[in-house]
């Protein structure tokens, strides 16, 4: 077990193998301000693109006149639905979302037109000049009502319903606890705005530099909308300023390409923050009704849950999110009987889709609240209740799937609660609830402690055949890795080098810039999958290169290939004895190259009862939160969060702790401050003024233990680490607030008036 309370920072040059914490290869340019984010790109003769968006959550477009915009000096072109040459709609799972709205707009911010002009200010004036005549329609904003309301889209108001039926519906427990829980709409709030640069070529095609999570998926959607062959649309990764799921959907990609092709000029688009809030999907708000049945001595018997997710106007990845919610609705426990009915519906609220945790966050808040409710009802310690029911390897999940990998749930819980509790807060105002506002009365402050544990899948599920491809070239002691992974900050660029150095024993590793034309798909930077899938592809390709080198080395030495062995550290040694050499050394001046595709073992769709081996692997984490609350004002200070996380194997200690601390901050945000506030389909707070994310003054102390039980099928035994920190941290903070105040907190984010 690795205790990562204070990981050593290893200075010096880039380098480092698996297990080290080398400086990330893009670290220097980033600290110098030289790293080119997609919003920093420029091209000679570049125009600026901007998008006209609907001010109404639901309206008919009666008339659209772009003439006045075209008349403005400096405006090059305006595009609308009429100018989309290929598919009029796109989407991650079903192509239900228009490039530009045609007869109807279905959410506030839906794109209606786009302009290209010589300056962003001219483009803004052009937008103001376009005349759109709307006939507002009543917006459908009540998710409960949506299935029974007239459809607001040809595909209907039910995006997906999924039922999980496992065991005997008639069984009951000695005790039953019920609750209804709500999670508000969180936003990924990545700092780098949606942005990119589209450059037309002279043959009707286009190059697009863009910040995204999956180059090839974007490429396919963009090409379809442009009516072009995939080879004519080349996507290059522009530097990405964070993603967290918010860049899985197309935002400005098609618009920028349309403008570039229409104008014949490079076109840059970069959203302002208010537009960004409208321009990407959010986390699904959820309402969840649960019933937990248990024996007197605290064994779970049955879990029943009705889950309702508001998918907003377009489907995005809602079908997958609701499935995740259903599959993980019971939490990481042995539940012999489970009946989950989960629905994601369409409304005129903003579209929702992927955000770190992907459905598991919402249900974790509910199932952990239920476990605490059950513990109280039974007079059992909440930690003991969890340990008593904790999943372990070999257990059966509510989908009927058996956990064949590692499942250190109990270890995670024990680790999270093993840390000493923090001392009472000092006198500094920032240490007290209310912060610099100095509202705190120390004689009133109450401290509370809460524990929660959660889990979800790694990689994609339900039969999606996910792959990743990498190519490695070894020449003159330098390994060049070509892999289309979208580096969004998570540090794949570091890991790729560590893997190459470990297998090939070289020092210098070069990563080619990700490019859809030059490389095969590496899949999405999501679902905590890249280390496993693309790290696996890089490792495979490196091993193929190593095998080629081994054969060539043997040939050079005049021995049979079998006479050259691979040592544990990857170096080559003559079986008969002699010096060992690294693969890179053995390669000499010869050039070696290999490509590899990494696949995970197949999964299957769920059947009509929600049963099936739908997932590849599972990952677990537990959190303990300590909060101080001002009970009279309802202000909360999150003091400390400790965690035990199932990581399989730590490949880069500094980067792992970075994911843990960053994910916990997002979990804290959802618990106490982050919510897109809606009012009849209008977004009330599309800015950092009023969509509050934690500042450094809000960040709790974080102490982390990494549970290292190598996952059998995973490259290096490593599980993805990005999502687990966000899954149960929110629930732990909520539990701590309940303990501090005695208030039955049933929604997050918790607002001050929920507590007073």
Partner 1 sequence: MSTETVEPTYELTVNGVVRPVAGAHQGDSLLHVLRDRLGLPGAKNACEQGECGSCSVLVDGVLVCACLELAEAAVGCAITTVEGLAPAGAEPGDAALASDVLTDVQQAMVEAGGVQCGFCTPGFVVAIHDLLDRVPEPSPLDVREALAGNLCRCTGYGRILAAVDQVVAVRSRSNGD
Partner 2 sequence: MTVLVPDRLDDALAALDSDPALTVLAGGTDLMVELNYGRRRPIDVLSLRRLAALRDWHVERSAAGAGTREDTVVLGAAVTYTTLLGDELARLLPALAQAARTVGSPQIRNAGTIGGNLVTGSPAGDTLPVLVAQEATVELASARNGLRRLPVSDFLTGPKQTARRPDELLVAVRIPVRPGRSEFLKIGVRNAMVIAVANCALVVDRERRALRCALGSVGPVPIRDPAAELWATTRLDWDGHAAPHPSVVEGFGRRMAAASRPIDDHRATAAYRRHAVGVMARRALERAWRPAA
Q: How far is the CB of 97 from partner 1 (least distance, A)?
A: 25
x-or-dash pattern for partner 2, window 255-284, by CB under 8 A? -----------------x-x----------
* Binding-site partner at residue 448 among partner 1, partner 2, none, CB < 5 to 8 Å by type: none
- Between 147 and 752, whose beta carbon lies closer to partner 2? 752
Contact flag: residue 423 with partner 1 (CB under 8 A): no
Contact flag: residue 726 with partner 1 (CB under 8 A): no
- Between 39 and 80, whose beta carbon lies closer to partner 1? 39
Helix axes 382-389, 360-378, angle to 10 degrees: 110
Out of 1, 3, 10, 295, the only residue in the binding site for partner 1 (CB under 8 A) is: 10
Give the list of residues 6+ apart from residue 414 with CB closer than 8 angstroms, or none.
387, 644
* Binding-site partner at residue 163 among partner 2, partner 1, none, CB < 5 to 8 Å by type: none
d(CA 507, CA 673): 45
Contact flag: residue 509 with partner 1 (CB under 8 A): no
User: CA nearest 510: which of 476, 462, 537?
Assistant: 476
Contact flag: residue 701 with partner 2 (CB under 8 A): no
Q: Kindly tell me the sign of the dihedral angle through the C-alpha atoms of 228, 211, 488, 194.
A: negative
Question: Is 575 in contact with 564 (CB distance < 8 Å)?
Answer: yes
* Binding-site partner at residue 724 among partner 2, partner 1, none, CB < 5 to 8 Å by type: none
d(CA 206, CA 293): 58
Residue 623's H or E segment, with its range, is strand 617-630
d(CA 177, CA 353): 31
Q: How far is the CB of 16 from partner 1 (least distance, A)?
A: 12
Q: Which of residues 677-716 bind partner 1 (CB under 8 A)?
A: 687-689, 693-697, 699, 702
Question: Rounded to 5 degrees, what are φ and ψ at 166?
Answer: -135, 115
- Between 104 and 737, whose beta carbon lies closer to partner 2? 737
Q: Omega of the bond prior to 92 within 30 degrees of 0, cis?
A: no
- Between 430 and 575, whose beta carbon lies closer to partner 1? 430
Give the list of residues 6+ apart from residue 148 with CB closer than 8 angstroms, or none.
none
Q: How far is the CB of 38 from partner 2 (least distance, A)?
A: 20
Contact flag: residue 530 with partner 1 (CB under 8 A): no
Stretch that binds partner 1, among 239-247, 473-481, 556-564, 607-615 (CB under 8 A): 239-247
Contact flag: residue 436 with partner 1 (CB under 8 A): yes
d(CA 506, CA 472): 12
d(CA 166, CA 534): 34
* Binding-site partner at residue 517 among partner 1, partner 2, none, CB < 5 to 8 Å by type: none
**N- to C-terminal Cα separation, the chain:** 42
Tokens of 668: 């804290």
Question: Is 298 in contact with 374 (CB distance < 8 Å)?
Answer: yes
Q: How far is the CB of 629 from partner 2 (least distance, A)?
A: 13
- Between 612 and 700, whose beta carbon lies closer to partner 2? 700
Contact flag: residue 87 with partner 2 (CB under 8 A): no
Q: Omega of the bond prior to 335 within 30 degrees of 0, cis?
A: no
Q: How far is the CB of 695 from partner 2 (least distance, A)?
A: 5
Question: Is 616 in contact with 458 (CB distance < 8 Å)?
Answer: yes
d(CA 241, CA 8): 26
The site that binds partner 1 (CB under 8 A) totals a number of residues, namely 66
User: CA nearest 249: which of 286, 211, 199, 284?
Assistant: 211
d(CA 559, CA 585): 18
* Binding-site partner at residue 686 among partner 2, partner 1, none, CB < 5 to 8 Å by type: none
d(CA 528, CA 689): 30
- Between 6 and 696, whose beta carbon lies closer to partner 2? 696
d(CA 615, CA 337): 20
* Binding-site partner at residue 7 among partner 1, partner 2, none, CB < 5 to 8 Å by type: partner 1
DSSP per position, 488-512: SSS-HHHHHHHHHHHHH--SEEEEP
> Among all chains, which residue has been given the structure tokens 């809000």?
698
Out of 191, 510, 575, 680, the only residue in the binding site for partner 1 (CB under 8 A) is: 191
> Among all chains, which residue has been given the structure tokens 């609660």?
417
User: CA nearest 366: which of 738, 745, 663, 741?
Assistant: 745
* Binding-site partner at residue 643 among partner 1, partner 2, none, CB < 5 to 8 Å by type: none
Question: Under DSSP, is residue 286 helix (H, G, I), strand (E, B) or coil?
Answer: strand
Stretch that binds partner 1, among 21-29, 499-507, 531-539, 739-747 (CB under 8 A): 21-29
Task: Check residue 489 and report its DSSP letter.
Answer: S
Question: Is 52 in contact with 115 (CB distance < 8 Å)?
Answer: yes
300: alpha, beta or left? (left if phi > 0; alpha if psi -120 to 50)? beta
Contact flag: residue 209 with partner 1 (CB under 8 A): no
Q: How far is the CB of 373 from partner 2 (least distance, A)?
A: 26
- Between 288 and 702, whose beta carbon lies closer to partner 1? 702
Question: Is 457 in contact with 528 (CB distance < 8 Å)?
Answer: no
User: CA nearest 409: which of 379, 427, 388, 428?
Assistant: 388
Cross-strand pairs, 52: 113
d(CA 426, CA 423): 8
Stretch that binds partner 1, among 59-67, 249-257, 279-287, 661-669 (CB under 8 A): 661-669
* Binding-site partner at residue 637 among partner 1, partner 2, none, CB < 5 to 8 Å by type: partner 2
Q: Which of residues 418-447 bind partner 2 (CB under 8 A)?
A: 430, 434-439, 441
Contact flag: residue 16 with partner 1 (CB under 8 A): no
- Between 473 and 637, whose beta carbon lies closer to partner 2? 637
* Binding-site partner at residue 380 among partner 1, partner 2, none, CB < 5 to 8 Å by type: none
- For 183, how many CA atoms within 13 A lie in the half-sphere containing its CB? 33
- Between 669 and 722, whose beta carbon lies closer to partner 2? 669
Q: Which of residues 669-698 bind partner 2 (CB under 8 A)?
A: 672-673, 677, 679, 684-685, 689-690, 692, 694-695, 697-698
Q: How far is the CB of 242 from partner 2 (least distance, A)?
A: 19
d(CA 277, CA 356): 17
Q: Which of residues 582-641 bind partner 2 (CB under 8 A)?
A: 632-635, 637
Contact flag: residue 421 with partner 1 (CB under 8 A): no
Contact flag: residue 189 with partner 1 (CB under 8 A): yes
Q: What residues make contact with partner 1 under the rule CB under 8 A? A: 6-7, 9-11, 21, 23-24, 26-28, 30-37, 39-40, 119, 121, 188-193, 239-242, 244, 270, 272-273, 428, 430-431, 436, 488-491, 654-655, 657-658, 660-666, 687-689, 693-697, 699, 702
Q: What residues make contact with partner 2 under the rule CB under 8 A? A: 121, 124, 272, 274, 430, 434-439, 441, 632-635, 637, 672-673, 677, 679, 684-685, 689-690, 692, 694-695, 697-698, 751-753, 756
């Amino acid at each position: 077990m690795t205790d990562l309370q204070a990981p050593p920072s290893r200075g010096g040059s880039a380098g480092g193998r698996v297990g080290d914490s080398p400086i990330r290869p893009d670290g220097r340019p980033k600290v110098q301000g030289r790293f080119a984010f997609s919003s920093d790109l420029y091209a000679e003769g570049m125009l600026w693109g901007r998008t006209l968006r609907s001010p109404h959550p639901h309206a008919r477009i009666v008339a659209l006149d772009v003439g006045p915009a075209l008349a403005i000096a400096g405006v090059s072109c305006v595009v609308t639905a009429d100018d989309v040459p290929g598919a009029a709609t796109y989407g991650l799972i079903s192509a239900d979302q228009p490039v530009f709205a045609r007869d109807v707009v279905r959410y506030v911010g839906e794109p209606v037109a786009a302009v290209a002009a010589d300056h962003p200010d001219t483009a803004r004036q052009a937008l103001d000049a376009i005349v759109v005549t709307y006939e507002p329609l009543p917006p459908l904003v009540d998710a409960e009502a949506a299935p029974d309301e007239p459809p607001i889209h040809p595909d209907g108001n039910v995006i997906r319903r999924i039922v999980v039926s496992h065991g005997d519906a008639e069984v009951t427990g000695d005790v039953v606890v019920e609750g209804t829980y709500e999670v508000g709409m969180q936003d990924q709030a990545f700092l780098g705005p949606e942005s990119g640069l589209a450059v037309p070529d002279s043959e009707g095609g286009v190059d697009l530099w863009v910040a995204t999570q999956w180059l090839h998926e974007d490429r396919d959607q963009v090409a379809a909308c442009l009516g072009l062959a995939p080879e004519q649309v080349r996507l290059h990764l522009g530097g990405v300023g964070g993603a967290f799921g918010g860049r899985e959907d197309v935002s400005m990609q098609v618009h920028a390409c349309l403008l570039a092709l229409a104008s014949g000029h490079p076109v840059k688009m970069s959203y302002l923050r208010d537009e960004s809030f409208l321009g990407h999907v959010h986390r699904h708000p959820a309402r969840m009704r649960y019933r937990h049945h248990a024996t007197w001595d605290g064994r779970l018997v049955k879990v029943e849950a009705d889950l309702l997710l508001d998918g907003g106007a377009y489907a995005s990845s809602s079908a997958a999110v609701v499935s995740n919610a259903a599959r993980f609705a019971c939490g990481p426990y042995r539940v012999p009987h489970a009946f989950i009915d989960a629905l994601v519906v369409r409304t005129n609220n903003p579209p929702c889709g992927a955000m770190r945790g992907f459905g598991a966050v919402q249900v974790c808040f509910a199932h952990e609240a239920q476990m605490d409710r059950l513990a109280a009802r039974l007079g059992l310690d909440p930690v003991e209740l969890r340990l008593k029911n904790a999943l372990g390897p070999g257990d059966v999940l509510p989908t009927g799937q058996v956990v064949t990998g590692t499942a250190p749930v109990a270890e995670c819980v024990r680790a999270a609660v093993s840390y000493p509790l923090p001392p009472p807060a000092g006198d500094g105002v920032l240490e007290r609830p209310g912060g610099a506002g100095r509202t705190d009365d120390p004689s009133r402050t109450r401290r509370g402690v809460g524990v929660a544990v959660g889990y979800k899948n790694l990689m994609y599920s339900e039969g999606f055949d996910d792959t990743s491809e990498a190519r490695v070239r070894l020449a003159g002691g330098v390994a060049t890795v070509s892999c289309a992974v979208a580096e969004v900050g998570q540090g794949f660029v570091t890991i790729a080098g560590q893997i190459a150095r470990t297998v090939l024993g070289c020092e210098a590793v070069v990563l080619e810039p990700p490019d859809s034309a030059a490389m095969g798909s590496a899949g999405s930077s999501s679902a905590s999958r890249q280390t496993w899938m693309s790290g696996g592809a890089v490792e495979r390709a490196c091993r193929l290169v190593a095998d080629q080198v081994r054969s060539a080395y043997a040939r050079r030495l005049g021995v049979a290939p079998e006479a050259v062995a691979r040592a544990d550290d990857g170096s080559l040694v003559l079986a008969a004895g002699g010096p060992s050499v690294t693969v890179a050394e053995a390669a000499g001046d010869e050039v070696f190259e290999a490509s590899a595709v990494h696949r995970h073992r197949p999964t299957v769709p769920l059947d009509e009862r929600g049963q099936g081996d739908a997932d590849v692997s599972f990952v677990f984490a537990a959190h303990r939160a300590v909060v101080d609350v001002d009970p009279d004002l309802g202000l909360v200070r999150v003091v400390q969060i400790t965690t035990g996380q199932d990581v399989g194997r730590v490949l880069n200690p500094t980067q792992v702790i970075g994911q843990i601390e960053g994910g916990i901050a997002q979990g804290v945000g959802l618990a106490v401050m982050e919510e897109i506030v809606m009012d009849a389909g209008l977004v009330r707070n599309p800015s950092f003024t009023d969509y509050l994310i934690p500042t450094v003054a809000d960040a709790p102390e974080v102490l982390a233990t990494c549970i290292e039980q190598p996952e059998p099928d995973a490259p290096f035994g490593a599980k993805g680490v990005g999502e687990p920190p966000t899954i149960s941290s929110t629930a732990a903070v909520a539990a701590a607030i309940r303990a501090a105040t005695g208030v039955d907190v049933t929604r997050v984010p918790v607002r001050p008036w929920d507590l007073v």
